[in-house]
């Protein structure tokens, strides 16, 4: 991995809303991660979702805590310190497995919700939902702008197996209705990432993914970070230090 100081990944993240860093994890580390996840795949816990188009694990670090030390290796910690500072913590974690013949297509959207411990009547916190015993809510824009998402790629990912497509700089416009944008005339980029690499993005960046067309799976661990304390009696449901 290039030293974070050698390439201005932080500027890319701030200016374009995303950046890609290769070789954060070795092939051996990825093998251990995938084998550990596979060993848990038969779980019937409510946080596990299985279909022909998707296998997902919500609250991933809670469900498979033994992977925390391996995921937060020295290379990833260096990235976190350089790009996010020393005071960021985990606020959400999800594992996605897009199978080889998946027809799962995701249209352009922003990630507008956070996971919290309870539902409260708080000004500017809207669109409350509960799914799999997990409360989600759309917080004020300032909270969303503070979040950064790291996507750890367990497979080579490109435009043929559902790599994210993004609209660079779209995170700078705040919360925007997707149906108000003509995406066909936008400067779209495909974020190909090699196995063991990571993509870092801002949740307000418009992103999408296509169906798989090359019979190759796409497995990603999605971890969100923030350094903000939520108001009143509200707290992040998955708050977790990186140490």
> What are 89-99's pLDDT values in tens digits?
999 999 998 87
Confidence of residue 29 (pLDDT cuts 50, 70, 90): very high
What's the rounded Cα separation, in Å, for the pair 196 and 93? 18
What's the rounded Cα separation, in Å, for the pair 198 and 6? 17
Model confidence at 76: pLDDT above 90 = yes
Query: Which residue ranges form the domains of the chain, and what is each CATH number?
Result: 9-226 (2.60.120.620)
Q: What average pLDDT does range 58-77 have in this prediction? A: 95
State percent of the chain over pLDDT 70. 92
* pTM score, whole prediction: 0.93
Average pLDDT, the chain: 91
> What are 102-143's pLDDT values in tens digits?
777 899 999 999 999 999 999 999 999 998 778 999 999 999
List all residues 6 or more positions away from 74 whose beta carbon is below 8 Å from its beta carbon: none
């Amino acid at each position: 991995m290039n030293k974070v100081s050698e390439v201005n990944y932080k500027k890319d993240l701030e200016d374009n809303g995303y950046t890609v860093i290769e070789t954060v994890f070795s092939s051996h580390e990825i093998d251990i991660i995938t084998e550990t996840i596979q060993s848990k795949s038969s779980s019937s816990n409510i946080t596990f979702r299985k279909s022909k188009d998707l296998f997902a694990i919500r609250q991933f670090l809670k469900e498979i805590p033994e992977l925390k030390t391996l995921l937060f290796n020295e290379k990833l910690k260096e990235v976190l310190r350089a790009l996010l500072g020393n005071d960021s913590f985990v606020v959400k974690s999800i594992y996605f497995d897009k199978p080889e013949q998946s027809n799962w297509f995701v249209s352009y959207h922003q990630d507008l919700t956070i996971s919290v411990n309870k539902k409260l009547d708080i000004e500017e916190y809207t669109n409350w939902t509960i799914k799999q015993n997990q409360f989600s809510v759309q917080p004020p824009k300032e909270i969303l702008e503070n979040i950064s998402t790291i996507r750890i790629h367990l497979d080579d990912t490109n435009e043929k197996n559902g790599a994210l497509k993004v609209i660079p700089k779209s995170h700078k416009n705040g919360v925007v209705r997707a149906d108000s944008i003509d995406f066909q005339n936008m400067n779209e980029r495909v974020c190909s990432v090699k196995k063991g690499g990571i993509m870092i993005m801002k949740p307000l960046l418009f992103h999408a993914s296509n169906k798989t067309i090359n019979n190759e799976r796409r497995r990603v661990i999605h971890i969100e970070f923030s350094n903000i304390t939520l108001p009143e009696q509200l707290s992040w449901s998955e708050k977790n230090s990186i140490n």
